Amino acid sequence: MLGAEVEGAVITVPAYFDDAQRQATKDAATVAGLNVLRLINEPTAAALAYGLDNGSEGLYAIYDLGGGTFDISILRLTKGVFEVVSTGGDTSLGGDDFDRCIVDWVFTQTGLEPSAMAPPDHRRLLHEARRCKERLSRSEQTEFKVDLDDTTTVRLPLTRVRFESLTRPFLVRSLQACQRALDDADLAPADVVGVVLVGGATRMPQVVAGVRELFGTEPLNDIDPDQVVALGAALQANQLVGNAALDDEWLLLDVIPLSLGLETMGGLVEKVITRNSTIPIARAQEFTTYKDGQTAMAIHVLQGERELVSDCRSLARFELRGIPPMAAGAARIAVTFQVDADGLLSVTAREASSGVEASVAVKPSYGLSDDDIAGMLQGAYDAAGHDMQARALREQQVEADRLIEAIEAALRADGDLLGPAERAALQATVKRTAKLRTGTDAEAIRRGVEELSRASDEFASRRMDRSIAMALEGRSVDDI
């Protein structure tokens, strides 16, 4: 059909696709016999088309309202460099919602029961709703007309004003997602010099007007919104195979949509790569052991914006074994996160003194619904205050556990260094701190930890003296 062999393919994916979905897309293309040159976000592909065609520079918003999803990306275009500075969206919002809204209105107006509607008739209603939506993008009024199987004919006049009133909540949702993307990049709408419209649903006049009102500029739509993503992908593919002219050189810098991190003690998430970091990227962070003599560490890789493991998405688990037994906190374990140009993740853990290493490449985890993905960012925004309080509580609980465990171990080993009254007083303080640890007042636990630390200072000093004395026993001054 093309008259030549296909050497490779650039595949576009929604900006909200996570690592598992990107890997699944790449695997499916490989099974189909395609050599995948690059995965790029659909809004980014649209920016490529407009940036190259129009020579644009500055901050641009890519407003992508498709049939079933909505994406918003904020990009900085500078002398051939396309840098994605922020992404957002709603994977359960699209042009299909506008169609279903018309059908719901028809049910209300006619008294027809959706549960009693045969599937073929329901499809006819949806088809006519889509046609009405398209006609209302060109005219002020139309007629909804459908002949059903039971010889019933539905005929209703529908104005653009009525349609826009019915579907206004969907437009508002998209504009709220735009504002969140701007907030993530610490930008105001006035900082954006242009808005690119992508997706057939952006032909609706109310969408154009809503975008114009939010950003204060006339949206760009001189390239067919149904073709602009494909055009950008084709331009990217053209460059990757070496066909681009010298004056067409440019660089694409994409970002990851959700933060990546590890589980730490207390069920907390330590973010290693934060969302909206430019890819490809590699970042390392050093961790250590929690207990004396610990020879293995479980690595739990997570994705999301929340502070607790239970509120984030699990991507992978693996173990680093062969850690030399040391005192708690002595081992140095570097964990490296690497995200490639396709947004796919690999994680490596390495212990410094022994060189032992383990790694994992994140593979697809199927079964995640669109609502789950869309809710991850929204949940982070809604629960930000609660999450910070929960993190503070868990951190203090972990510190209390660490100190209590260390003191109890020290008492078993060197309890004879304390008199009966001293030991009883220290144990009473341990008991009070343990009781506080079961509560939900982070500040109270912090004060309890400080009190226990002060109460154990003299005991720690005596243990240190004993350790030094034992180390020097039988040795002369000259030996030292």
Q: Which amino acid is at 208?
A: V
The reported pLDDT for the residue numbered 245 is: 52
Residue 186 has pLDDT above 70, yes or no: yes
Q: Which residues pair with 438 in a beta bridge?
A: none
pLDDT on residue 363: 45
**pTM confidence score:** 0.55
**pLDDT for residue 287:** 84
Task: Quick: pLDDT tens for 309-349.
Answer: 888 888 888 888 888 888 777 888 888 888 876 777 888 88
Helix (H, G, I), strand (E, B) or coil at 91: coil
| Burial category of 50 from C-beta neighbours within 10 Å (exposed 0-12, middle 13-18, buried 19 and up) | buried
List, in sequence order, every residue forming a beta bridge with 314; answer none if it has no partner: 302
User: In terms of pLDDT, which residue wins out, 208 or 16?
Assistant: 208
Is a pLDDT exceeding 80 seen at residue 388?
no
Return mean pLDDT, the chain: 82
Question: What pLDDT sits at residue 14?
Answer: 75
Q: What is the pLDDT of residues 412-442, one digit of tens each?
A: 888 888 888 888 888 888 888 888 888 888 8
- Say if residues 89 and 180 touch (Cβ distance below 8 Å): no
Give the per-residue pLDDT at 79: 65
Q: Which of 438, 410, 435, 437 is nearest to 422 (CA)?
A: 410
- The per-residue pLDDT for 345 is 83
Least confident of 59-63, 405-409, 465-469: 465-469
Q: For the beta carbon of residue 435, count every other beta carbon within 10 angstroms.
A: 10
pLDDT band at residue 207 under the 50/70/90 scheme: very high
Q: Is the separation of the CB atoms in 451 and 400 below 8 Å?
A: no
pLDDT computed for residue 372 by the predictor = 55
- Per-residue model confidence (pLDDT) at position 99: 94
Nearest-angstrom CA–CA distance, 297 and 324: 11
Residue 397's pLDDT band, with cuts at 50, 70 and 90, is confident
Mean pLDDT comparison of 123-132, 223-232, 245-254, highest-scoring range:
123-132
pLDDT (average), residues 90-114: 90
pLDDT tens readout for residues 142-162: 999 998 877 788 999 999 999
**Lowest-pLDDT range, 16-25, 121-130, 359-368?**
359-368
Per-residue pLDDT at 18: 66
pLDDT in the model for residue 170: 95
Q: Starting from the edge strand earliest in sequence, which strands make up the sheet with 260-264, in order?
A: 268-273, 260-264, 296-303, 313-321
> Which pair of tokens denotes residue 115?
């549960």
pLDDT value at position 380? 56
**Residues 432, 404 contacting (CB under 8 angstroms):** no
pLDDT of residue 369: 46
Given a cut of 60, is residue 370 above it in pLDDT? no
2, burial (CB in 10 Å: exposed 0-12, middle 13-18, buried 19+): exposed
Distance in Å from the first CA to the final CA of the chain: 86
Give the pLDDT confidence score for residue 19 in this predicted structure: 66
How large a percentage of the chain has pLDDT more than 90?
21
Across the range 31-60, mean pLDDT stands at 77
pLDDT of residue 246: 44
Using alpha carbons only, what angle is made at residue 397 by residues 395 and 398, rounded to the nearest 5 degrees? 65
Q: Average the pLDDT over 173-200 and give the result.
A: 92
Residue 124: predicted pLDDT: 92
Residue 53 has pLDDT above 50, yes or no: no
